[in-house]
Structure 1
Amino acid sequence: MFYLILVLLPVSLFAQRTPSISYITQEQIKDIGGTVELDCSVQYAKDYTVLWTKTLNERSDSVFLSTGSSLVIKDSRFALRHDPSSSTYTLQIKDIQETDAGIYQCQVVLSVINKISADVTLSVRRPPVITDNSTQSLVVSEGKSVQMECYAGGYPHPTISWRRENNAILPTGGATYTGSVLKINSVRKEDRGTYYCVADNGVSKGDRRNINLEVEFAPFITVPRPRLGQALQYDMDLECHIEAYPLPAIVWVKDEVQLSNNQHYSISHFATADEFTDSTIRVITIEKRQYGDYICKAVNKLGQAEAKVNLFETVIPVCPPACGQAHYGDAQYVTSSTVVLVIGFLGVLMGFH
């Protein structure tokens, strides 16, 4: 009887061995279009069902890919190999797509409510794509704080960097800044312009978004020639350059009277950019009363500014705009070519003497 127990004991122990997963492939990172093989080796599972499943994450439902040595999923990119000698089940995926990323699980089903499992994560490298919740354009008043945001998807997780058009210095200092949020605590008009948000993760060329920052600011006026001289009965142009956003209202004033287009004055405005305007007033056929100070004024919702141009009398006409003509009285003039002809004719007459 004692010998019988010794013989039966190993058989009893073998029958009670529980299946286990002895090997599972480690985490895989692959490029789109590549191939991956996921191995799962089991022990003591000859009489049990072995499955491959996939989930997008730990909270999503599983999709069954294979059972035993047969595929369940009808996708030609998937293949399954079973090596009975090592009891290894190999799941192969060719032409990997972005949607193949997820958690792949090898399961040994012990009962309806019991199983053993092991996971392997497949990550797929994806080029960065800047998402729609990123800033596109901004309008902010000078002195206010502002922040530009840039977010991107992709794998590995992209790095976000910032720079300005023409590599101008950023408000944060330096030519580049790294981070998803670029914040300016007190914006200046010099900060306006185009900012580039660049997302890079080493896959492909990355992604870029142009963000336009408009800064509203009160007018600032410069006068290229604060004092101008011109002779009586000639025209003269007075100029001022205005920098402002939004576009300001511009007027010219003399002796506290706002000037307008008429036979004495011609006013014109030229917008050279969204923030820059050149204003010119032409004083036509100058009379004595038109000498003096002219005030260029500009106003928008953030403030106003003014600058002075002084027009004084000279004996000799100034060119331009008094080029090629000389006035005599109110209606007569002779051209410069006529003056040349007269001088030439006088020279000929003197030659006869």
Structure 2
Amino acid sequence: MCVSTQLAVEQTDGREDRSTPNINCGDRNPTISHITQQQIKDIGDQVDLDCSVHYAQDYPVVWLKHDRYKSTESLPLSSNSGLIIRDSRFSLRFDDASATYTLSIKDIQETDAGWYMCQVILSVNNKLTAEVELQVRRPPIISDNSTRSIVASEGESAQMECYAGGFPSPKISWRRENNAILPTGGSIYRGNILKIASVHKEDRGTYYCVAENGVGRGARRNINLEVEFAPVVTVPRPRLGQALQYDMDLECHVEAYPPPAISWLKDEVQLSNNQHYRISHFATADEFTDTTLRVITIEKRQYGRFTCKAQNKLGTDQGTVELFETIIPVCPPACGQTRYANAATITAPEVMVTVLAFYVFWMRYV
């Protein structure tokens, strides 16, 4: 836009004569008098970017999308009052009265975020520029460089990291499964890094990294902390009685990680599956194993102390079960048929009646 000037001419009679306006743009340099301030929008919104340019009728005025960190990468969007880019979401308006070029973007996408430059090209090496940043709110996305799972030995330190992108910058918090107390204390810890100075087996389990920035529902990652620890063996029934020629199950519960090697011994001799013994293991979880030794058709020599032993790379533990003789069979497992060598097969109820009759007779005459 050019500005008109009035020339004052002094006449010979001393009066001033106001001539017609004299329009002279040649001595005015192009200027960018206004550009829109930083814009923050949500995905799907619309934005108007204004650039007011004066004294630039003879020069190209362009809008570009500009990468501030790579000066060579700029995308021309418009030239003067015409749009260059073929995208129905973009449009350009020019208001002659204010010499304002308005770049409009509707249905804003995440990729529209960045710097937009209004530029007056004076010559090949001389440009007049102004820029505005468009920031697009984005929900959090947890970065790939965040921890996914971790294994630590008991007593060592452990560190879990969580990072997230998005705009505004997300805040990170940590929780445990079922809102259990964190090793750092409390049920919530805030920060990118959760550090446990000395890990205990009770610290194992699932941890939640939660990223929130007020956009959308936030993001969450489950991080599994596995703690390696030496076996701990517990014996639910340290003493068990059973009658001759009946079966009996001896049990041990083993807690350990990594899963241990489990063995049963009698008189320091390791037992194996055969016609006298049957060993079974049942893992209820990665860290828990129930082991059972079935003593089959008990003979006199099989009474005594049995040891269940568990061992992994961090240590060894063991438990002891004593099997002693009784007169009356214990059910279970002596609830089915009982087999006698070189004898007919009889059922448990028949055996019970016989044993009880003998017991009553014995008590009466002793």
| Amino acid in structure 1 at the alignment position of 2:53 | V
Preserved contact between residue 25 and residue 55 of structure 2 (Cα < 8 Å): no
Give the structure 2 partner of residue 294 of structure 1: 306
1:31 pairs, out of 21, 39, 42, with 42
Partners of 1:287 and 1:114 in 2: CA distance? 105
* 1:60-71 mapped onto 2 (5 Å cutoff): 60=71, 61-71=73-83
Partner of 2:202: helix, strand, or coil?
A: helix
Helix, strand or coil at the partner of 1:110: strand
Give the whole-Å Cα distance in 1 for the aligned partners of 2:113 and 2:145: 24
Note the residue ranges of structure 2 that are not aligned, 5 or more in a row: 1-7, 11-15, 355-366
Runs of 4+ in 1 over 4 A off after TM superposition: 10-15, 324-330, 336-342
In structure 2, what is the Cα distance between the partners aligned to 1:312 and 1:330? 25
In structure 2, relative to structure 1, the CA distance for the partners of 1:212 and 1:171 (3 Å cut) is same
Determine the structure 2 residue equivalent to 1:348.
none
- Name the residue aligned to 1:214: 226
Indicate whether 1:267 and 2:276 are aligned: no
1:180 matched to 2:192: yes
- Which residue of 2 is the match for residue 345 of structure 1? none
What residue in structure 2 maps to residue 253 of structure 1? 265
Do the aligned residues in 2 keep the contact of 1:56 with 1:101 (CA within 8 Å)?
no
TM-aligned CA deviation for residue 12 of structure 1: 11
Change over 3 Å in CA distance of 1:304–1:336 after alignment to 2: closer
Q: Which of the residues 172, 176, 191 maps onto 1:160?
A: 172
Q: How does 1:80-119 map to 2 (within 5 A)?
A: 80-119=92-131
Cα distance in 2 for residues equivalent to 1:304 and 1:12: 100
Q: CA offsets, 1:39-58, max 9 Å, x none? A: 11123334433221211334
1:317 corresponding residue in structure 2: 329
Q: Distance in 1 between matches of 2:353 and 2:192?
A: 75
- Of 183, 187, 203 in structure 1, the residue corresponding to residue 215 of structure 2 is 203
TM-score normalized by structure 2? 0.83
Cα deviation, residue 325, structure 1: 5.7
Per-residue displacement from partner, 1:291-350 (whole Å, max 9, x unpaired)?
2211110111111111111122223222222235678886356435547999xxxxxxxx
Q: Deviations over 1:261-280 (max 9, x none)?
A: 22222211111222111111
Aligned: 1:224 with 2:236: yes
1:7-156 alignment, distance < 5 Å: 16-60=27-71, 61-156=73-168
Q: Which amino acid aligns with 1:80?
A: L
Aligned pair count reads: 339
Query: 1:180, CA displacement in angstroms?
Result: 2.0
| Equivalent residues of 1:324, 1:336 under 8 A apart | yes
| 2-structure distance, mates of 1:228, 1:163 | 45
Take 2:183 and 2:22, find their aligned partners in 1: how far apart are those partners? 79
Identical columns (%): 69
Note if 1:277 corresponds to 2:289.
yes
One-letter amino acid matched to 1:44: Y
CA shift in 2, pair 1:71/1:14, >3 Å: closer
Q: Would the alpha carbon gap of residues 68 and 14 (structure 1) be closer, same or farther in structure 2, given more than 3 Å must change?
A: closer
Deviation string 1:81-108 (CA, Å, 9 cap, x unpaired) is 1111111110011222222111111123
In structure 2, what residue type is equivalent to 1:55? H
Write the distance in 1 (CA, Å) between the matches of 2:230 and 2:161.
27
Q: Which whole-Å deviations, capped at 9, do the CAs of 1:211-259 have from their partners, x for residues lacking one? A: 2222222111111011112223322111001111122111111111112
Q: Secondary structure at the match of 2:111?
A: helix
d(CA) in 2 for partners of 1:250 and 1:331? 36
| Range that drifts further, 20-29 or 331-340 | 331-340
Instruction: Kindly provide the amino acid, as one letter, of the partner of residue 191 in structure 2.
Output: G
Q: 1:3 Cα shift?
A: 6.3
Which letter does structure 1 place at the counterpart of 2:128?
I
* Secondary structure of 1:289's aligned partner: helix
Q: Which amino acid aligns with 2:329?
A: P
- Taking a change above 3 Å as real, the CA distance of residues 316 and 341 of structure 1, as seen in their structure-2 partners, is closer
Aligned to 1:347: none
Q: Deviations over 1:115-161 (max 9, x none)?
A: 33221100112222222222222222222222222222222222222
1:32 alignment partner AA:
I
Match of 1:229, SS state, is strand
